[in-house]
Structure 1
Amino acid sequence: MKFSKLFLIALSTSLFVSCSNDDNNDNDKAPKGVYDNGFFILNEGTAQGTVSFSSNDLTSFTKDVYATVNGSDVLGKFAQNIFFSGDNAYIISGGANNITVVNRYTFKLITKIETGLKNPRYGVVKDGKAYVTNANTYSFENAATGNTDDYIAVINLATNTFESKIDLNSTANRVVLKDGKLYITDPYNDKLLVFDIATKKLDTPVQIGLNGDCIEEENGILYILKGGNGNSSELVKVKIADKTTTKITFPQSLDGAGFMDLENSKIYYTVGSSVYTMNTTATAASTTPIVTSPATYVYGFAVNNSRIYVAQGNFSTDGKAYIYNLTGTLQKELTTGIGTNGFYFNN
């Protein structure tokens, strides 16, 4: 499950990752499979997760891609995140302690990684290895405080096997990769963890204050959004070169900011069911929404290729995905699966 949902229960509670070719050979433009040139929508589920798919032109939609392709085999409980490497997609299931490996263009099952993982969360890839955060003994009982036994699982993607474990002595959640270092959010403490892959050591953490979660990187700056579950909202910018920080404190009307993404030097963020935007150079947060969706519980969010994607995370009925252009016009509404929580672009 996402921490945001667990917070709500306990307290009363993407990396999205293009390349062009000047060759005009038509064969180079041909899709690599049925699920090329579109996006996946991850549905966390309760007993098991599912993955939906839409073509980029929004004319073709499959509600449960994995079942369509792989028959009776099922994804694990609490599908959390998808990351890509080469022709493969890796689907993290936190409740099943596994990663399902499929071809990203056909979605045909390749294998499942089932060792070395405990409550896996998010993953990034460098030099043929995946680095996956694990919440370890995280539970409803410690949902308000986290714990200190979280770790990174290192996965060899050539063999799809667990290789080693990096203890963090902290809580760990989202992760981004930049210049050979992992930047990992710790929502319960006032720090951003930094792990140097080359030296295999933790650097001095960056002090950012409590509740930092959503994290993105652009042009050598990390952007970290704080404010989930009704807390005061803040955007922290960390200059990677020298680890200096600047902050934008949001007005009280924007308490409880939930999700963030970057697109073309703009920051997009959610508060409740509304979406706001400001330039990366802004010194104050915008209080005028550009989109207010019908979603009563926003559980996933992305901005990609001049579109805004908002997920309604129902857990008793199928969720919804709402897709808008950047001026706020609804382009498509899709009925997805239980607990819709993320968008992953397969171009």
Structure 2
Amino acid sequence: MKLTRLLTLVFAFALLFNIACTDDNNATNDMYYGGGVLLSNEGNFGKPNADVTFVSSDLNTKQDNIFSANNGSNLGDVLQTIGFSGENAYLLLNNSNKIQVVNRYNFKKVGEITAQLNSPRYIAFANNNIYVTNDKYNGDKYVSVYKASDLSFVKKITFTDNAERIVAAGNYVFVQNASFGFGNKISYISTSTNEVQNTITLPSGNINKMIANNQSVYAIAAGTTDSYIYQISNTGSITKTYTLTGITDATNLEIENGKIYFTSGLKVYTMDVTATTAPTTPLFTVANSVDPYSNLYGFSVVNGRIYTSDANGFTEDSKISVYSTTGSLLKTFTAGKGTNGAYWN
């Protein structure tokens, strides 16, 4: 009986230790966050409850709030996006008007940008500079430029149209002059002069998202009956158009390993980059949310897996569903409020 009791105690201690090491709510200081996925949790607008969740590559370990746990302070208000350059991660806070810079592997803060930020949206890196889009509702639209070496302000590049997503390709950074499905223009800025070189007008559809892949730029645009994906060279020419016949309001464009992924409503589609026709059936369909604005609030393809987020109306933690690239559901779990993206670290 004594041996049995001892084994029982040992098992209980081991179980307790395992739970402590994989606690969902508290990150362990000095943990290494490389080789896994970072989830950006937007938080509630007007509250400083944005933060980041770490998920291990095998999906067995999850730690929430890794910024606050490793820095002893709140991250800020509305984590819009995360950008990476070298060993640093740049956490862009839309409503706090700041960028928190951390070491991407231990999440200790190493710097901060606050100058010339007004409702910052997205970030790109090129030619030793940092480029940030700013788009104030009913206000200024511009790209603010900073030196990567010391985070000092360099220049403001103003726009009359929206300044939303921004990506680097070749010798330019491309700015999506469209937001929330309104607008059909993309401008590109020379990274040697930091001047706008030219503007591209897409022939059909309104842009929902722009990304870069293999030194080309891709934009997904929605029309009234069909949608379109445009491939744009790093010199500003439209080199290919994918017509998504019968698919309306396509968005959430992602490309990985020669495959294009996008969504329409609750449906997730995929096709080869070399495809000449649109897919006719979705890869899978996500469950409807309690709030229609929470459906697919986050959608990312990361390291051979598809991460989707249901924001649960921002009243509860987001529900994350992870799928294989063949559409099989691998795992579900919760993260913070308003999870809007997943990033391989």
CA RMSD of aligned residues (A): 2.1
- Separation (CA, whole Å) in 2 of partners of 1:61 and 1:54: 5
Q: Secondary structure at the residue paired with 2:326?
A: coil
- Asked if 1:51 is matched to 2:49, the reply is no
In structure 1, list runs of 5 or more residues that go unmatched. Answer: 1-31
Alpha carbons 1:186, 1:213 under 8 Å: kept? no
Amino acid in the other structure paired with 2:63: T
Q: How does 1:248-327 map to 2 (within 5 A)?
A: 248-252=242-246, 254-294=247-287, 296=289, 297-314=295-312, 315-327=314-326
- Separation (CA, whole Å) in 1 of partners of 2:216 and 2:123: 20
Match of 1:174 in 2: 165
Q: Secondary structure at the residue paired with 1:204?
A: strand
Match of 1:155 in 2: 146
- Separation (CA, whole Å) in 2 of partners of 1:38 and 1:295: 28
Amino acid in the other structure paired with 1:98: K
Q: How many corresponding residue pairs?
A: 303
In structure 2, list runs of 5 or more residues that go unmatched. Answer: 1-29, 290-294
Match of 1:345 in 2: 344
- Separation (CA, whole Å) in 1 of partners of 2:172 and 2:188: 7
Match of 1:190 in 2: 184
Match of 1:164 in 2: 155
- Separation (CA, whole Å) in 2 of partners of 1:242 and 1:151: 20
Q: How far off is 1:246 after superposition?
A: 3.8
So what's the TM-score if we normalise by structure 1?
Answer: 0.81
Alpha carbons 1:52, 1:337 under 8 Å: kept? yes
Q: How far off is 1:150 after superposition?
A: 1.1
Q: How far off is 1:280 after superposition?
A: 1.3
Identity %: 35
- Separation (CA, whole Å) in 2 of partners of 1:171 and 1:62: 36
Match of 1:238 in 2: 232
- Separation (CA, whole Å) in 2 of partners of 1:126 and 1:221: 15
Q: How far off is 1:245 after superposition?
A: 4.7
- Separation (CA, whole Å) in 1 of partners of 2:170 and 2:31: 32
Which is higher, the Rg of structure 1 or of structure 2? 2
Q: Secondary structure at the residue paired with 2:271?
A: strand
Q: How far off is 1:295 after superposition?
A: 5.5
Q: How far off is 1:59 after superposition?
A: 1.4
Q: How far off is 1:313 after superposition?
A: 2.2
Q: Relative to structure 1, is the Cα distance of residues 76 and 126 closer, same or farther in structure 2, using a 3 angstrom cutoff?
A: same
- Separation (CA, whole Å) in 2 of partners of 1:310 and 1:231: 25
Q: How far off is 1:221 after superposition?
A: 3.4
Higher RCO (CA-CA < 8 Å; seq separation 6+) = 1
Q: Relative to structure 1, is the Cα distance of residues 199 and 158 closer, same or farther in structure 2, using a 3 angstrom cutoff?
A: closer
Q: Relative to structure 1, is the Cα distance of residues 232 and 74 closer, same or farther in structure 2, using a 3 angstrom cutoff?
A: farther
Q: Deviations over 1:201-226 (max 9, x none)?
A: 21221111452131223344322112
- Separation (CA, whole Å) in 2 of partners of 1:163 and 1:98: 16
Q: How far off is 1:108 after superposition?
A: 1.2
Q: How far off is 1:78 after superposition?
A: 1.2
- Separation (CA, whole Å) in 2 of partners of 1:201 and 1:303: 32
Amino acid in the other structure paired with 2:305: R
Match of 2:134 in 1: 134
